[in-house]
Amino acid sequence: MVARQIQLKDPVLLEMLLIERRGQAYFSRKVNELKAADFDKPSLLPGWNRKALIAHVGLNARANRRLVDWAATGVETPMYDSNTQREDEIDFSATLGVEAIRNLSVHGAIDLDVAWRDLPEERWSFEIRTAQGRLVPVSETIWMRMREVWIHAVDIDNGADFADFPKLVIDKMLPDLIAVWRRRRATDVVPNIVIAPTDRDVRLAVDENGAEDLIISGTAVDIVRWGTGRGNIGVFDQHGNKAPTAPRWL
């Protein structure tokens, strides 16, 4: 029997899909290195142990699969049916046994990958709505998932680090930080942050036409680590002081 091949042809999206798969493998390796007793220990996410974190990543794959199904069928299937579904699923799944949580993580990823594989080429531009209410093409699920697996691999607190991330992930995270902070300005007080990585020819501002309240410098890796709230190493403000705590990201 001939193996089924992915129908997507866009080279940029195919590269992103490859890096997402590498991220999933990286995340899975960090999970597999844990002993059973390690699952109840804290993750780097406040209030979450490793069970909850690993279950969340598996459940996130299922949620993204629902968006891909929406694009495939045209029948609206949101990431979550209610405002509490995400939290309810995590709370329940975190009570499962270690092997069940391992399986949830692996099978969720495989299921999503199959959905991407089978999505017809012409459906990749179909617009779906994210859990945050953004209307985006379903191709955005690749980035949403890529970001999820790489960053949460760090949150397992088992040796993963932003320095291990592919360049593409870091490069996409820089404008992602800015975009999220711009949206947060609708409800939160967010200064006009300018990020100026010392190893990239890029300078990004929350408000391109406003006064620069806080200019952040450091390597791109260190700025992404800081901006996602995962550590303040080598990141400084315009006065040469250690950067203050970044605004909330996700």
Looking at residues 232-248, what average pLDDT do you find? 96
Looking at residues 100-123, what average pLDDT do you find? 96
pLDDT tens, position by position, 134-157:
999 999 999 999 999 999 999 999
Q: How far apart are CA 126 and CA 135, in angstroms?
A: 10
Element (H, E) at 214: strand 214-218
> Residue 175 CA to chain centroid, in angstroms?
13
Average pLDDT of the chain to the nearest whole number: 95
Enter the pTM of the model.
Answer: 0.94
**pLDDT tops 90 at residue 97:** yes
- One domain, residues 146 and 221: no
- One domain, residues 125 and 33: yes
- One domain, residues 173 and 147: no
Model pLDDT, residue 3: 65
- One domain, residues 173 and 156: no
Q: Is 144 exposed, middle or buried (0-12, 13-18, 19+ CB in 10 A)?
A: middle
- One domain, residues 155 and 192: no
pLDDT tens, position by position, 221-235:
999 999 999 999 999
Percentage of the chain beyond pLDDT 90 is 94
Q: How many domains does the chain have?
A: 2
- One domain, residues 151 and 177: no
- One domain, residues 57 and 124: yes
Domain that holds residue 174: 169-227
- Sheet containing strand 204-205, strands side by side: 204-205, 193-197, 214-218
**pLDDT tops 60 at residue 2:** no
Q: Given 132, 160, 188, which residue is the final one in a domain?
A: 160
pLDDT tens, position by position, 5-57:
899 999 999 999 999 999 999 999 999 999 999 999 999 999 999 999 999 99
Residue holding tokens 């990004």? Answer: 204
Classify the C-alpha dihedral 45-48-50-51 as positive or negative: negative
C-beta atoms surrounding 75 within 10 Å: 7
| Residue 33 · residue 158 · CB < 8 Å | yes
Helix (H, G, I), strand (E, B), or coil: what is residue 136? strand
- Domain-embedded: residue 245: no
Classify the C-alpha dihedral 216-218-219-222 as positive or negative: negative
Looking at residues 188-211, what average pLDDT do you find? 95
By C-alpha distance, which of 211, 204, 203 is closest to 182? 204
